[in-house]
Amino acid sequence: MRHRIRAGIEDMEILMHICCSNCAVYPVQKLSERGVLIKGLWFNPNIHPYTEYRNRLEALRKLAGLWKLDIEYDESYGLVDFLRNAVNNEEQRCLYCYAVRLERTAARAKELKADAFTTSLLVSPYQDFDIIKETGSRVQEKYGIEFYFEDFREGFAEGRRISGELGLYRQKYCGCVYSEMERYMGKKSGENKRGSAEAGKSESTKEKAI
């Protein structure tokens, strides 16, 4: 059922939330080399419009086929729920995105009797690292399953290089309709702080490097 390789946190079974194929490359490679048993979960209701959602989903399917990864796909397109949570609360939208995806991953990890859950978001220098860590810790307590936390950012450029060699689709913005607007209207990241997250690390600027 899981993708097995060797050397490190031997035989630990981790369910990894995968935000996109590009971000998955380095964490999957690194953990696999240490002997972790990895199963991936695609659940990203924050990606809009639907054509963009399909492009990223198909890129992950391509990576899974090339690397023989075990990925579970939740293809529910969550635009309506996302908007209900984001409208009139736009500055906090990233907090919602982190929480809804990590909660789904933790719940599924518990059902699968995995040892822990994690997320490929931890590889990107354009995400709010501290907020992801805080959210994961909170979700860990709620669901009673370990949040495996590691700073994968040092491998971001390496993952990007590999994804390019594999010919994976590379997105131009983080995912939601707001980040698309900011990307194509040329809005500077410093103009849009989202809650306690600094926009320089926010998902809306992710297109610069992925």
Question: What does the pLDDT average to over 102-116?
Answer: 98
In this prediction, residue 187 carries a pLDDT of: 62
In this prediction, residue 202 carries a pLDDT of: 37
Let me know: does 18 contact 120? Beta carbons within 8 Å: yes
Q: What is the pLDDT of residues 32-75, one digit of tens each?
A: 999 999 999 999 999 999 999 999 999 999 999 999 999 999 99
Residue boundaries of the structural domains of the chain: 3-170
- Rounded to 5 degrees, what are φ and ψ at 155? -100, 10
Other C-beta atoms lying within 10 Å of the C-beta of residue 86: 19
Distances (CA, A) of 8 to 5, 18, 28, 34, 181: 10, 21, 13, 4, 42
Q: Which residue has the tokens 């822990």?
A: 116
Let me know: does 32 contact 38? Beta carbons within 8 Å: yes
Please, what is the end-to-end C-alpha distance for the chain in angstroms? 29
DSSP string, 38-87: EEEEE--TT--SHHHHHHHHHHHHHHHHHHT--EEE-----HHHHHHHHT
pLDDT band for position 92 (50/70/90)? confident
Distance between CA atoms of residues 152 and 30, nearest Å: 9
Let me know: does 138 contact 76? Beta carbons within 8 Å: no
In this prediction, residue 85 carries a pLDDT of: 87
Structure-model confidence comparison of residues 173 and 21, the more confident one: 21
Question: What does the pLDDT average to over 77-82?
Answer: 89
Distance between CA atoms of residues 195 and 204, nearest Å: 14
Structure-model confidence comparison of residues 104 and 82, the more confident one: 104
The mean predicted confidence, pLDDT, of the chain is 86
Architecture of domain 3-170: 3-Layer(aba) Sandwich (3.40)
**pTM for the full model?**
0.84
